[in-house]
Amino acid sequence: MRIKTIKDFYNFIFETRDFKRKLLRKKLNAEKIKKSEIKKLEKYVVKLLKIPLGAGNHVLEYAEGKKTNLDLFYEIDELTKDVIFLSETEKNFMDYLNKMNEDFENDVETGLEFISKSDITTFISDRDGTINNYCGRYNSSIQSIYNASYLIDIAKILEKPVILTSAPLQNTGFLDMNIMPPNFFVIAGSKGREFTWKNQFYKMHLDEQQQQKLNILNQKLQDLINKPYYEVFALIGSGLQFKFGETTIARQDVYNSIPQQDSQNFLQKVEEIVRNIDPKQEYFSIIDTGKDIEIILHKKDAGVSSEFSKGDGIEFISKKIGLNLTEADNLICGDTASDLAMLEYAEKVTPNNYSIFVTQDEKLKEKVGKFASKNLFVSSPDALVTILHKYALERSTN
């Protein structure tokens, strides 16, 4: 069956996710992966490549007479990595990563030297752009088998490693993109306001009336995007994300796939829904980034506000399950200014912090240096994940 529509595309993407999970389980159990299974991964790549091209990108329908362009580099490249990772030597796989990432070899060598001086007991990291490559659509940013395998290596030598993201945990959230089995990582969404660890879910308290208003909003938005004309806005960029204390809906993506007038009309439609639910603006604030519409519960007495940071999330997680930030060295990883709050919180607890940020932004580097004297900067998530993998192997054999 050919992929013609965006809905076809997502059905296909989640099929690849389920198959990746199966192969990862086999690898973790030291079961042999068959050639036919690797061949199936190759066929997945071919199927994506067969999606028609237009203006340099792949073209898919999202409503009758409506088409949009998608850059599918992430989806194709992550599947290609898995084919090479499972079928060829480690050297060949490293050669591929080196070819695909600028400064890869130097980053890995420098990074391993940097981190080998530490005794890491706690690892806290952002996901997208840090330990996972960026994807044009959150809803298709399925983790690769290689990425999961390398991250599990570092998880095996640590007690409570944390991966924390702004995305929600569920309902097409972090857990849906993840292929790792549970209990390797503390998986945290909504900047740490909700997380799972050892098969238990934790979330912050939210005022009952606020939650009721948020539930009404979420249902109204779900009803809206269930209409064929508006369905595309749940399928591009950030999609529709029901976070804790906040809802995000895309109105455009980085490729400007949606005609500007359609995007503007959708913004007005969402603003109208919010006004009808909250005419006195007692509950919600709307932030329009041009790409996403962020609808945030703004009452601070419920513990949720637009100022809630990933540092607050780390504090909440630590209070609930104990992260032992003072016991030895902590490694904090990120790629944007929003990740600085994790470093800032860690520095308040202990000076024993290492940081690796995936960035070439000099201003961000300067800000990182204010919170962590032991810091390193690399050019790609692939480099960072490889550093973690090699460090874990060193530690486990010493």
pLDDT of residue 256: 82
- If you average pLDDT over residues 111-126, what whole number do you get? 94
pLDDT of residue 220: 97
- What is the rounded distance in angstroms from the CA atom of residue 69 to the CA atom of residue 213? 35
Q: 291 near 252, Cβ under 8 Å?
A: yes
Fold of the domain built from segment(s) 208-302 = Alpha-Beta Plaits (3.30.70)
Tell me the domain boundaries of the chain.
1-87, 208-302
Quick check: 261 pLDDT over 60? Answer: yes
- What is the rounded distance in angstroms from the CA atom of residue 280 to the CA atom of residue 131? 42
- What is the rounded distance in angstroms from the CA atom of residue 211 to the CA atom of residue 233? 24
The Cα-based distances of 351 to 345, 354, 369 in angstroms read 11, 9, 13
Q: What is the DSSP string of 76-123?
A: HHHHHHHHHHHHS-HHHHHHHHHHHSTTHHHHHHHHHHHHTTS-EEEE
3-state secondary structure of 369: helix
Spell out where the chain has E strands.
Answer: 53-54, 57-63, 66-70, 120-125, 162-164, 186-189, 194-197, 200-203, 240-243, 246-250, 284-288, 292-297, 329-334, 353-358, 374-378
- Tens digits of per-residue pLDDT, 207-234? 888 889 999 999 999 999 999 889 889 8
- Tens digits of per-residue pLDDT, 355-398? 999 999 999 999 999 888 899 999 999 999 999 999 999 988 87
Quick check: 172 pLDDT over 80? Answer: yes
Main-chain dihedrals φ then ψ at residue 245, nearest 5 degrees: 75, 10
pTM (two decimals): 0.90
Quick check: 299 pLDDT over 70? Answer: no
Q: State what percent of residues in the chain have pLDDT above 70.
A: 97
Quick check: 133 pLDDT over 90? Answer: yes
pLDDT of residue 245: 86
Q: Give me the architecture of the 1-87 domain, per CATH.
A: Up-down Bundle (1.20)
